[in-house]
Amino acid sequence: MLRIPYDELVRTLVLAHRNLGYAPARAQESATLFAETTRDGVYTHGIARFPRLAKLVGNGCVKPEASPTFVSGFGALERWDGNYGPGNLNAWHSMGRAIALAAQHGIGCVAVRHTNHWMRAGTYGLQAAESGMMGLCFTNTMPNMAPWGGKQPVLGNNPLVIAVPRTNGAHFLVDLAMSQFSYGALDGYAARGEQLPVPGGFDKEGNISSDPKAILEARHPMPIGYWKGSALSMMLDVVAATLSFGQATCQIDEDPLKEAGVSQVFVAINPSALGDVSRIGDQIIASLHTESGSKARYPGEKLPAIRGENMEKGVPVDENIWEETRKIAGLA
């Protein structure tokens, strides 16, 4: 693992985006989102995802020049079309629009169809929290998880994000897939030759397994909460496809290099519209630390420390990913 200075990481990613056909401003925005994700310690969904994005641009699934367009709206609810543009840029725009609606109405909801993988899901929850808003967003995916009691991957692992702002910037943040481990996490464990810390799926024989390679080969990750995660995955898909009038998981290509046209929902809520609620989160955290001991932490608590360390020491980047990215940037 290399340690790359943050500014160098951004510059390299900007060049790589430009070589993929991104306009200068869009290259800067996307490069920053990739770099910030890796800086914040979400190594599976930052620069590690960039080579796959390059392939999706190359085969036409992601259109670098495409921006979201307004379809319809009613009060605080809007529907947009992502036009198969870059998923992270579409998502950033959509949460931004939800925040603007929440500033006007107290709540805003934006549903987007025909978009693409948004990379780190938590980015858009933090986007809302940094604006003083609660953020909730979710996406469907290609079929990559079997329903509880089944063997064929007909559900998506449909990530869900919930963020709540704190005045000190150390926001609450939950970012989780509906599978016990995301495919990015499984890939990471497999690449390092490590077993999962808890069972994460099933092998081809249907046995519960902690072997990431066996789970990836079987394409059978375990839903969180068993049947509960399976049901929640389906409901997130139903809501996303219905609100956006877009594709459901069953209509999305199963090939990771052809996954395109997903449906997403972004919700922002303005808690201060009803009064000062800033101390509630602090009280909950104090209770957690007092009752559960020093090892307990709230969701998102580690983020500021990880971010600070990586800014000081350099952002950890896999050597092969870095070399591949530099080649796309024309630097190697």
Domain 1-58+302-332: assigned CATH number: 1.10.1530.10
pLDDT of residue 89: 98
Residue with structure tokens 């481990």? 181
For residue 302, give the 3-state DSSP assignment.
coil
pLDDT of residue 292: 61
pLDDT band at 143 (very low <50, low <70, confident <90, very high): very high
Give CATH 3.30.1370.60 domain extents, the chain: 70-179+223-300
> For 189, which DSSP code?
H
One-character DSSP codes across 252-270:
S-SSTTT---EEEEEEEE-
**Structure tokens given for 130:** 């940094």
Average pLDDT over residues 49-57: 97
Q: Which of 17, 221, 30, 230 is nearest to 117 (CA)?
A: 30
* Cα 124-233-302 angle, rounded to 5 deg: 40
Sheet harboring 69-74: ordered strands across? 69-74, 77-81, 107-115, 262-269, 134-139, 160-164, 172-176
Catalytic residues: 45
pLDDT of residue 294: 67
Give CATH 1.10.1530.10 domain extents, the chain: 1-58+302-332
Domain 70-179+223-300: assigned CATH number: 3.30.1370.60
pLDDT of residue 296: 85
pLDDT band at 188 (very low <50, low <70, confident <90, very high): confident
**Structure tokens given for 252:** 């999305």
pLDDT of residue 7: 98
pLDDT more than 90, % of the chain: 91
Packed helices 303-313 and 24-39: angle between N→C axes, nearest 10 degrees = 110
pLDDT of residue 276: 84
- Quick check: 228 pLDDT over 80? yes
Residue 47 backbone dihedrals phi, psi, to 5 degrees: -60, -25
pLDDT of residue 129: 98
**Structure tokens given for 276:** 């000062």
pLDDT in tens, 282-312: 999 988 888 666 678 899 999 999 999 999 9
Distance CA 321, CA 316 (A): 11
Q: Residue type at 184?
A: G
